[in-house]
Structure 1
Amino acid sequence: MDVTRPLAPGAPAAPHSASGEAVDTHDLDAVAPPPRPARRWTPKRVVATPAAYDHAHGRRIMALVEAHGLEVERLRGNRLTGLRGESDRETYARAKATMAIVVSPPSRRKLQPIAPSADWRVDLAEGCPAHCQYCYLAGSLTGPPVTRIYADLDDILAGLADYAGRGTITSRRADRRDEGTTFEASCYTDPLALEHLTGSWRRAVEHFGAWDAPVQLRWTTKFDDVDGFVGLAHHGRTRVRSSVNCRPVTTRVEGGTSRLEDRLAGLRRLARDGYPVGVTIAPIIAVPDWQAHYGELLDAVAAAVGDVPGLDLTAELITHRFTPGSKEVLLGWYPRTRVEMDEQARSRKHGRFGAVKYVYPAETMAQLRSWFQHELADRLPSCRILYWT
C-alpha cells in the first residue's frame, strides 16, 4: 500500500468549552456535539426462502425489513437464485446488494472451536455488506458473497447450552478462564451492519444476559450503530469489540464501513453502559511509517475509552495474511486494490489440513509484535492483550 499522506503535526490541544475554559475530560460526553447518524446498509434486494417463514424470528426479520420500506421477495424454493451476472464483477455487485433470509444449514448448528478467539463459533448470519479489500471471507466462503440471515435464531440460541463448559480456548486456559465459555458470533459477518434489519444480535445479548452461568457472547464490528444495545440487561456477558485500524487502512481499503471516530464513539457508549469491550486491530499491515500510524490509532483508542469508570478493555492483534485462493478472489473483486499480496515478500506457512498461507517474514513479525506489546502497555496500561497471530 502506498502511504504518502503525512500525519498532522503536534498533539491535539486540550478540549475547551465555548467560553474558552478548559473542560475536564471526564465531562466530555456532556459537551460533545450530537453523534452523527449511524451508518446503515440498505440492500437493493431482500429475498426469503419458504423455510424461513416457518420460524418466528424469520417473520420478525421480514417485519423489520418492511418497516424500513423494503420489499421481501418470497422465493419458490430454498435455493438462492438470481445472483449470477454476466461477469464476476456483476455477480459480486448483485450478491453484495442482496440480503437473504434463510434457515441455517445443519453444519452451522454443530459448533466448531474458533482459536484463538473463543471456545465456539456460533453463526447468526453469513456474509457482510462492507467492501474491505483484504476480506478474509474471500477465502472462507464459497459462491457469490450474498448476506444470509438465519431465521432459526431461537433454535440456534437454545442449542448453545449443550456447549457450556466444554471449550478449550477460554474454558480451560488459566489466563482467560475468567471469560467462561465463550461464543464468537461475528466470524462470518458484521453484526452492526445488519442489526437494524434483523434484531438478531440484540436477542443474543438478551439471551446471554438471562443465562446465569459463566458464559460470554463475543462479537466485533466495523460499524457504530449501537443505539439498540445501550440499556439492555446484558449483565456483562457480552464483550463487544470494535475492529479498528490505522488511517491509511480505514480510509483506503475498508469501503462501506463507519469512520474510525464513529466506531470508537460507539465503543465508548457501550463501555459506559457496562459492557466489557475490546479492540480488534486487524489486519495489522506494515504500511510505510506504520509505527506512527498505529501510534495515532492507539492514542485515539485511549482518548475514546481511557477515562471510562470500571473499564474492561481487551486487544486482539491479527496480522495480515492471505492464501492463494483468497488472493485470486480478492483480485477479482478489487482488481486495483492497494493491499500488498506479494508472495515473494512473505513467508509461506501451512495451516490446518496443510492449507498454504502467506504471512509476514519472521523479522517483520517480531518487530510488529514487540512494538504493539510495548506501546499498548504504555498508552493503554489497563488493556489486556488476548492473543497475537
Structure 2
Amino acid sequence: MRLMEMDRRAGILGAEGPPGATIGAGSRIGAPAFVGMNVHAPPTPSPARLWRPRRVLVTPAALDHAHGRAMAGRLEALGLPVERLRSNRLTGLRPEDPRRAYVEAKNTLALVVAPPTRLKLQPIPPSADWRVDLAEGCPAHCQYCYLAGSLAGPPVTRVYANLGEILATLRSYAGSGRITSAQEERAHEGTTFECSCYTDPLGIEHLTGSLSEAIRFFGAWEAPVQLRFTTKFAAVEPLLGLPHGRNTRIRFSVNARAAARYEGGTAPLAARFAAMRAVALAGYPVGLTVAPILPVEDWRQAYDALIAEAAAALDGVPDLDLTAELITHRFTPGSKTVLEGWYPGSGLAMREDERARKFTKFGSVKYVLPKDLMSEMRRHITGRLAARLPAARLLYWT
C-alpha cells in the first residue's frame, strides 16, 4: 500500500492531497495564483482545512491559568472531545504497535503547563537570539521532520497554558543574545525570539490563540525586539488585523514541488504563497525559508521555479521587508530510526553512504549532502535567489 493511502486511511492526511489536487474552483496546485492580483489589498485565500484533533487532554494545572481556561473553552465550543484529566500526567499514549502509537499521538492535543526549564531560554543559531516555546509538537506529517530526533515519546502536540508567564519572562532577555543582537548585519532586527523550533504555531492557532497573543505582546513592546516563526500552513486570516507593529516576522517554509509528497498534512504550496502575500500586504515583515533543500530530479530548474513563484507572489508589495533562509536536508541515526518507524515505505533518501558525515557541536553524528553537491547547490540557488528576488536579504545557508 502506498504511504499516502496508508495515511489517508489512518485519518492523518491534511487538505492538500496528492500533487495536482484541486484547492479551489478552477485552481490546481502548481497553477500561477497571482496574475492580475490587486496589489493594494490582501488576496482572499481558499478556505483552509484546519486540524481537528480526535482527542483533547486538559490537565488540572492548565486550568490554573487564564489562557488555559480560555483554550479549553475554545476547544469545547468547537465541539471537540475534551477530556479533563484528574492528574497532570499524560498516560496511555504508548500502544504496543508503533504505527498506531504514532497515529493516535498525532491526533491528540494536550493542554499542559510549560516546565520551568522552558522558561529559561536557549540560544537558537543561526535563526535568532533566543528560542521561546508556545507549544511542542506539530499536526503535520513531514517525512523529514527534524522533531523526530529532538522530542522524546509519542508526538503528541502539547500547548502551554502558562502563556502569560512565558511572555513575561522574555523582557529580561531584551538587549542580549549572540545572533541578531551581536551581528552588525542583523543588529537592526533587535533581540529576536524564535517560536517555531518545536512546533508550527500557525497550524494550531485556531485551537490555541497563543500566536495572536504573542504577536500582540510584541506589537506593544516598545523596544528593539522581534518575534519570528516559520510555518507550512496558510490560515493567516486571524493575524491580518492584529496590532503587530512590524515586530513579528512571518516566514513560510517552502520546497520544490517535487518534494510535496514528503509534506503530508500541510497547506498546498500555492496557498502558502497566497498567505505570504496577504501578511506582507498587512505590513508584516516576511521570510522565505527553503527547507529542506533536496537533490530532487532536475533540482536546478525545480528550485529556480520555486523562487520564481515566490517572486510572483510578492510582486508589487509596498514597503516589502523580506529575508531568506536556505536549509539543506540532514539527518541523524536517531532521527532516521524514528522517521522510518513513522513513515514505513517513504521514498525519502536517507542512505548514509550517499552523504557526508559531520559532527554537531555536541559531538553527535549527522549526515549532510556531499561537499561537492552542497557547493554546487549553494552556488546555483543563492544565485537564482539574487536574480529573481533581489529584495531578499539572505540570512544564512546551512
Q: Which residue in 2 is equivalent to 1:307? A: 316
How far apart, in 2, do the equivalents of 1:86 and 1:101 lie? 24
Alpha-carbon contact 1:39-1:224 (below 8 Å) kept: no
2:392 aligned residue (363, 383, 389): 383
What is the CA deviation profile of residues 206-246 of structure 1, one whole-angstrom value per residue up to 9, with x for unaligned ones?
00000000000000100001011011110100000001001
Q: Which residue in 1 is equivalent to 2:232? A: 222
How far apart, in 2, do the equivalents of 1:319 and 1:223 lie? 20
The 3 A distance-change label for structure 1 pair 29 and 97 is same
Pick 1 or 2: higher relative contact order, CA cutoff 8 A, min separation 6: 2
The 3 A distance-change label for structure 1 pair 12 and 276 is closer
How far apart, in 2, do the equivalents of 1:146 and 1:367 lie? 38
Question: Could you tell me the TM-score, scaled by structure 2's length?
Answer: 0.90
Does 2:315 match 1:294? no
1:62 aligned residue (56, 72, 84): 72
AA in 1 matched with 2:312: A
Does 2:280 match 1:271? yes
2:362 aligned residue (336, 353, 360): 353
What is the CA deviation profile of residues 30-86 of structure 1, one whole-angstrom value per residue up to 9, with x for unaligned ones?
9x7x52111310000000111101000000110111121113211121110121113
Q: How big is the shift at 1:29? A: 5.6
Q: In structure 2, the residue corresponding to 1:197 is in which secondary structure?
A: helix
Q: Which residue in 2 is equivalent to 1:333? A: 342
Q: In structure 1, the residue corresponding to 2:226 is in which secondary structure?
A: strand
Q: How big is the shift at 1:353? A: 1.6
How many pairs are equivalent?
371
Backbone CA RMSD of aligned residues: 1.9
Alpha-carbon contact 1:64-1:197 (below 8 Å) kept: yes
Q: Which residue in 1 is equivalent to 2:207? A: 197
Q: Which residue in 2 is equivalent to 1:18? A: none
AA in 2 matched with 1:160: L
How far apart, in 1, do the equivalents of 2:245 and 2:330 lie? 36
Q: Which residue in 1 is equivalent to 2:331? A: 322
Alignment of 1:133-282 (within 5 A): 133-250=143-260, 252-282=261-291
Q: Which residue in 2 is equivalent to 1:362? A: 371
The 3 A distance-change label for structure 1 pair 14 and 349 is closer
How far apart, in 1, do the equivalents of 2:195 and 2:98 lie? 29
Question: Could you tell me the TM-score, scaled by structure 1's length?
Answer: 0.92
The 3 A distance-change label for structure 1 pair 12 and 187 is closer
Alpha-carbon contact 1:39-1:223 (below 8 Å) kept: no
Alpha-carbon contact 1:26-1:307 (below 8 Å) kept: no
How far apart, in 2, do the equivalents of 1:375 and 1:362 lie? 20
The structure 1 segments of at least 4 consecutive aligned residues displaced by more than 2 Å after TM superposition are 11-15, 25-30
Unpaired runs of 5+ residues, structure 2, are 1-18, 20-30
Does 2:127 match 1:98? no
Q: Which residue in 1 is equivalent to 2:124? A: 114
What is the CA deviation profile of residues 257-284 of structure 1, one whole-angstrom value per residue up to 9, with x for unaligned ones?
0000001111111000100000111100
Q: Which residue in 1 is equivalent to 2:139? A: 129
1:81 aligned residue (91, 94, 98): 91
AA in 2 matched with 1:369: R
Q: In structure 2, the residue corresponding to 1:188 is in which secondary structure?
A: coil
The 3 A distance-change label for structure 1 pair 120 and 27 is closer
How far apart, in 1, do the equivalents of 2:119 and 2:329 lie? 29
